């Protein structure tokens, strides 16, 4: 370690995982995987080492019988077609053709074996991609604007900034032992494409008049996060010029490393330190490290579109378009990914872009090629014109592969969306998020309707069920959804949601969104309706 780990003065106040990390840096496991475990096989891996596998971007998948899941970092979700083909071929050769897009714009694999890891790492590195630190107590995949560089609604192209911050932290042992996971986003889009309020550290577009000249830059937010105790990030009284983003990121991460809580794993995220310190004290400490900074300027975030881009849209480059495709619950095959790469080469700018809504964009499509592109067979399923509920349904991995989830979510979410699309006609989009455990990888707290998996006892035994929350939103006026009482059996979710949505449809004001309706009628009205539905 090049720094002094000041938190080690009293080892009795460190949780078990902290002691494991002090014995061996998480990054050391990458070499051990390549040189030892890949040769000696699954049975040679000690339990502590399996915990360190996260630093390689790898988790044991359920039911812990020799297979692993892996996440691959994708800065701002922007991929070249060469990178896309490499990812698809890894899934084809080692991952049973399965690829998931995550809510952090990453690609996730399943069914990987330890013996295959060295070749997978090698293939990724050959095209400039890495799974390293996509998981673990370290700076993870940096979320960004998937439209960076082509966006009419961005103040500046943030591609280079995201790459700069990523390159600094990736495999940097000064920051590979943080108290817990650490998530950043950098976007200059005015519609909050990178979900700033739920990040540990986020940069959002801002301007400030300095010496009589309007300067483009960012505001910084700290302490956001979901899980069992969600927190909205707090904005610091600070204006950040583009060339100071890395300096601020280093300062915030240093504070978290040195002062973050390490006694209890469930109370170690940056959000807890920020909640205790407050934004003003946090800013003061940050300034001690990085020097004085200007006070905040003018926020340029004007709303939130939840990072959805269905259909054909003009880019800021005249005559070019991007096409937003729906990937149902974020899951697609290797062959579909290869086909999308072909389309990007043939019709676009040789680029694919993943979104935090678990979808994909094709960019750089000339006006004259749009019609032919839309006739391609692969776009029948991965369509730019999805049905309303399928277009706005998000799901975590669920207990099909995840050891923490208590229920299956991917297929449940897909079938519920299909059910709603077949029975409810609505001219307003409603975002529905499914999660299988309190960790909230499916980000249920920010959904119009969030569903969290649980179990209920029936005469036939324990069955899958879900708790429902309503009214979440990000952007100006950000607010987490609020839970309703009354656990819904998994097989009844579609019917119950249909009735709740019809309650909204039949009682809303003209052009009133679901979130606005929840705010107007209140949680008690939804609770009364849900209680009535469950009693019928």
Q: Which of 62, 104, 180, 529 is catalytic?
A: 180
Q: Which of 52, 62, 181, 331 is catalytic?
A: 181
Neighbours of 265 (CB within 10 A): 15
Beta bridge partners of 206: 217, 299
342 is catalytic: no
Q: Give the largest CA-CA distance in the chain.
A: 73
| Chain-centroid distance, C-alpha 347 | 28
Neighbours of 364 (CB within 10 A): 19
**CA atoms within 13 Å, Cβ hemisphere of 390:** 20
Q: Which of 71, 412, 444, 529 is catalytic?
A: 71
Q: What is the 3-state secondary structure (H, E, C) of 150-193?
A: CCCCECCCCHHHHHHHHHHHCCCHHHCCCCCCECEEECCECCCC
92 is catalytic: no
- Name the token pair of 273: 């330190």
436 is catalytic: yes
- Crossing angle of the two packed helices 279-290 and 245-259, in degrees rounded to 10: 110
Q: What is the 3-state secondary structure (H, E, C) of 63-131?
A: CCCCCEEEEEECHHHEEEHHHHHHHHHHHHHHCCCEEEECCCCCEEEEEECHHHHHHHHHHHHHCCCEC
- Name the token pair of 407: 């229920």
Q: Which of 436, 453, 471, 494 is catalytic?
A: 436
Q: Which of 77, 208, 441, 490 is catalytic?
A: 441
441 is catalytic: yes
423 is catalytic: no
Q: Which of 95, 144, 324, 442 is catalytic?
A: 442
The residues annotated as belonging to the active site are 71, 180-181, 436, 441-442
């Amino acid at each position: 370690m090049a720094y002094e780990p000041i938190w080690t003065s009293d080892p009795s106040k460190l949780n078990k995982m902290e002691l494991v990390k002090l014995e061996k840096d998480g990054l050391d496991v990458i070499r051990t995987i390549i040189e030892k475990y890949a040769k000696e096989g699954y049975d040679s891996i000690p339990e502590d080492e399996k915990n360190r596998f996260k630093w390689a971007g790898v988790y044991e998948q359920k039911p812990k019988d020799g297979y692993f899941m892996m996440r691959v970092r994708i800065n701002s979700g922007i991929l070249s077609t060469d990178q896309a083909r490499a990812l698809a071929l890894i899934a084809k050769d080692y991952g049973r053709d399965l690829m998931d897009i995550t809510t952090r714009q990453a690609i996730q694999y399943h069914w990987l074996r330890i013996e295959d890891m060295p070749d997978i790492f090698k293939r990724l590195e050959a095209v400039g991609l890495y799974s390293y630190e996509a998981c673990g107590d370290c700076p993870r995949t940096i979320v960004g604007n998937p439209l960076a560089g082509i966006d009419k609604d961005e103040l500046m192209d943030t591609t280079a900034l995201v790459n700069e911050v990523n390159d600094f932290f990736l495999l940097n042992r000064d920051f590979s032992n943080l108290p817990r996971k650490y998530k950043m986003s950098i976007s200059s889009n005015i519609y909050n494409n990178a979900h700033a309020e739920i990040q540990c550290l986020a940069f959002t577009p801002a301007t400030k008049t300095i010496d009589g000249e309007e300067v483009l830059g960012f505001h910084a937010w700290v302490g956001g996060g979901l899980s069992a105790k969600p927190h909205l990030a707090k904005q610091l009284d600070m204006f950040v010029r583009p060339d100071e983003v890395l300096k601020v990121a280093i300062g915030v991460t240093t504070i978290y490393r040195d002062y973050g809580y390490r006694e209890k794993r469930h109370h170690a995220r940056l959000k807890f330190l920020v909640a205790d310190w407050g934004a003003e004290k946090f800013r003061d400490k940050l300034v001690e490290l990085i020097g004085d900074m200007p006070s905040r300027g003018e926020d340029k975030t004007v709303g939130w579109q939840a990072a959805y881009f269905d259909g054909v849209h003009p880019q800021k480059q005249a005559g070019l378009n991007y096409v937003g495709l729906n990937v149902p619950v974020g899951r697609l095959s290797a062959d579909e990914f290869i086909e999308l790469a072909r389309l990007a080469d043939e019709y676009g700018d040789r680029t694919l872009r993943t979104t935090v809504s678990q979808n994909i964009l094709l960019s750089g499509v000339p006006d004259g090629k749009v019609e032919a592109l839309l006739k391609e067979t692969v776009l029948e399923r991965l369509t730019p014109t999805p049905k309303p509920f399928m277009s706005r349904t998000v799901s975590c991995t669920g207990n099909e592969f995840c050891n923490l989830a208590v229920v299956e979510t991917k297929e449940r979410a897909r079938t519920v969306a299909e059910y709603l699309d077949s029975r409810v006609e609505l001219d307003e989009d409603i975002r529905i998020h499914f999660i299988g455990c309190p960790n909230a990888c499916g980000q249920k707290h920010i959904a119009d309707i969030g569903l969290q998996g649980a179990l209920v006892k029936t005469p036939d035994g324990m069955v899958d069920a879900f708790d429902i929350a309503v009214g979440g939103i990000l952007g100006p006026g950000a607010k987490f959804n609020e839970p309703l009482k009354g656990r819904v059996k998994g097989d009844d979710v579609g019917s119950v949601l249909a009735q709740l949505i019809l309650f909204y449809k039949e009682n809303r004001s003209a052009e009133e969104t679901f979130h606005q309706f929840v705010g107007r009628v209140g949680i008690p009205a939804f609770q009364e309706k849900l209680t009535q539905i469950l009693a019928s």
